[in-house]
Chain A
Amino acid sequence: MRRRAILFLMAGLFLVITVAGYLYLRESAPVIADTRPLDAAGEKELKTLKGRAESLEKRLLGLAPKSATTYLVIDTGRNLLFMYENGTEVLKAICSTGSGRALVDPERKRRWTFDTPRGEFFIRAKHPNPVWIKPDWAFLEVGEPIPRKLAERLAPTELGAYAMDLGDGYLIHGTLYQRALGMSITHGCVRLGDKDLETVYDKVKIGTPVYIY
């Protein structure tokens, strides 16, 4: 009886090792390169492909920003803002970007998604001492009624000392909530700390490219 149990155990172990070995070998099997030489047609195709690749490479390089410019790069995953001048990183700042949350207004059947947009943008305007006109979602989000008067929507300190307009209502601006920097918490804008905001504001011009990914 005991011998039989040992036999079963051994057989089970053997089976497990075999399956594991098969899976491991299947995964780690190296791909053997085909080293057979090419015929004349193959060599011609290779030459054509190389030429095509080189021209595509040039086109790709042509799309990148010119190195002799100032531009901003915003990494939404790490919540970092970089500033480049002449191809060199001159500033790395912690920022806050969109939370990706959604908010629904059941009454008027509206829906907002708080994402920071991705792609290529430009600084369209620079505003010192910006006053924020709070949109409807800012009231809905905290369960407050939407005011009718414009004066009730004004928030003079919320955006910090400066704001830079990226278009479509998205801004790079300051924040009252400095400890939330580094978190994905905004409604789509990019928030910066006071010192970094001032540095960026001073360096960028209208038309400075901003790349967000």
Chain B
Amino acid sequence: MRGLTGRRTAFGRRLGLGLGLGLGRGLGLGRGRGAGLCAAIFAIGAAVALAAAAARPTRADLESAQRRAARLESEVALASTRRPYLVLDLEEKMLRYRLMGMTMREVPIPTLQIEGLLPSSGGAVASPALAGIVSLKEKEGDPRLKPLSPEQVEDGADDENAANVLPPEVPKEYRLTFNQKIAVRVAAEEEAKGVSKVGAWLKSATARLRGHGGGDEMLVTIRLALDPAAAVEVYRSLLPDQRWLVLPPQGYRLPEVGQEPPPKPKAARPQPAEPARPPKKPEADRGVPFAIPPPNEPPGANGDGGTPVIPPPDEPPPEPPKPPDAERLPDGGT
């Protein structure tokens, strides 16, 4: 290859020199100037050729487009459910809360470890492998799994620090399992620097060797080390059956973990309208109990054949209901 390039270069140089001499003579320039002009033309030509090659789409571009289309297809379906979902973007190291096409919150993932992804070999890849929809089954230590005991209920009656009064404690490290063969482990970790960074890496590496990252029958295990406050907030925000969209990094794809098909769109809840206000009466009409009816004509006189309803003149108008001082609310609240 090198030899071929060398030959090409030498040939090019000779060709360039010859052309330069000819062109220089033709334009009445000196030998040196002609060669310089020709070299400049060649340099421009080479730059144009390089730019053209760079502009030409590559297989990497196709893969990016496939990923983008797969992500958007899943996102449109998830957004149409009108419920929030999380996007675990392993390429950008970001956890995004999305709802109806809006990004509600972004949580950066400083440290990320993934096991079980497959290299994308190029060519056609199914959408679920590039943007997989999974749904949360359980979060470790979920308070809903342990209903309050009768003792805790009794304690709560007189102790304001009892279990049912304080918010449930959030574990520092927790595992999220999904209805698919994928597990996410979230750890609250301070940002490690220098030696502690090496220590943190060794710790996580040994944890993975021990199968600490999710193990079992899981095909994909992901370990997220988040800022301690963010780890707690993520835990609190998670509900069972919440959908996640997992986006593998460029060059990788998800194995078949049982990804869900895109969910069906959900119709919007009916938006209640502001109750119509009664039209304001003109100043002159104030105090008049009811509108004066049109003159009573015999049936058929105006051509419609109907009988107009005339309220009895002595009957007082119905009183509007009194606004309650305090409104009672239905079952629910707090």
Instruction: Tell me if chain B binds chain A.
Output: yes
B58 and A119 within 8 A (CB): no
Q: Is there a chain A Cβ closer than 8 Å to B288's Cβ?
A: no
B205's nearest neighbour on chain A, judged by CB, is A23
A137 → B minimal CB distance (Å): 10
Q: How many residues of A are counted as interface, with CB atoms below 8 angstroms from the partner's CB atoms?
A: 96
A206 and B275 within 8 A (CB): yes
B104 and A75 within 8 A (CB): yes
Complex alpha-carbon distance, A129 and B325, angstroms: 7
- Which among B79, B201, B251 is the interface contact of A31 at CB below 8 angstroms? B251
Q: Is there a chain A Cβ closer than 8 Å to B66's Cβ?
A: yes
B322 → A minimal CB distance (Å): 14
A191's nearest neighbour on chain B, judged by CB, is B334
B268 and A56 within 8 A (CB): no
Q: Is there a chain A Cβ closer than 8 Å to B157's Cβ?
A: yes
Complex alpha-carbon distance, A156 and B156, angstroms: 22
Would you list 16 pairs from A and B whose C-beta atoms are within 8 A, ordered by A residue? A38-B56, A38-B62, A53-B68, A65-B102, A100-B143, A118-B239, A121-B269, A122-B272, A131-B328, A132-B329, A135-B332, A141-B153, A170-B332, A171-B329, A175-B334, A185-B167
B142 and A100 within 8 A (CB): yes
Q: Is there a chain B Cβ closer than 8 Å to A89's Cβ?
A: no
- Measured between beta carbons, the chain A residues less than 8 angstroms from B104 are 73, 75, 211, 213
Complex alpha-carbon distance, A175 and B333, angstroms: 11
A27 → B minimal CB distance (Å): 7
B233-257 contacts to A (CB < 8 Å): 233-237, 239, 242, 249-252
- Measured between beta carbons, the chain B residues less than 8 angstroms from A33 are 58, 60, 250-251
A63-89 contacts to B (CB < 8 Å): 63-65, 73, 75-79
Given contacts A23-B205, A75-B237, A189-B334, contact A163 B329 (CB under 8 A): yes
- Which among A32, A59, A209 is the interface contact of B76 at CB below 8 angstroms? A59
B242's nearest neighbour on chain A, judged by CB, is A118
Interface flags, A90-118, vs B, CB<8A=1, else 0: 00000000011111101000010101001
Q: Is there a chain A Cβ closer than 8 Å to B180's Cβ?
A: no
B164 and A189 within 8 A (CB): no
A12 → B minimal CB distance (Å): 15
B40 → A minimal CB distance (Å): 28
Q: Is there a chain B Cβ closer than 8 Å to A7's Cβ?
A: no
- Measured between beta carbons, the chain A residues less than 8 angstroms from B167 are 99, 183-185
- Which among A35, A102, A158 is the interface contact of B334 at CB below 8 angstroms? A158
A24-38 contacts to B (CB < 8 Å): 24, 27, 31-38
- Measured between beta carbons, the chain A residues less than 8 angstroms from B275 are 206
Complex alpha-carbon distance, A121 and B269, angstroms: 7
- Measured between beta carbons, the chain A residues less than 8 angstroms from B73 are 56
- Measured between beta carbons, the chain A residues less than 8 angstroms from B5 are none
Q: Which 10 A-B pairs have the closest CB atoms?
A: A169-B332, A31-B251, A77-B237, A77-B233, A213-B84, A56-B72, A33-B60, A49-B65, A34-B59, A102-B147
A211 and B156 within 8 A (CB): no
Q: Is there a chain A Cβ closer than 8 Å to B331's Cβ?
A: yes
Complex alpha-carbon distance, A131 and B324, angstroms: 11
Complex alpha-carbon distance, A209 and B167, angstroms: 28
B14 → A minimal CB distance (Å): 30
A6 → B minimal CB distance (Å): 24
B332 and A171 within 8 A (CB): yes
Complex alpha-carbon distance, A23 and B203, angstroms: 13
A124's nearest neighbour on chain B, judged by CB, is B272
Q: Is there a chain B Cβ closer than 8 Å to A159's Cβ?
A: yes
Given contacts A37-B58, A184-B168, contact A53 B72 (CB under 8 A): yes
- Measured between beta carbons, the chain B residues less than 8 angstroms from A175 are 334
A53 and B156 within 8 A (CB): no
B201 → A minimal CB distance (Å): 8
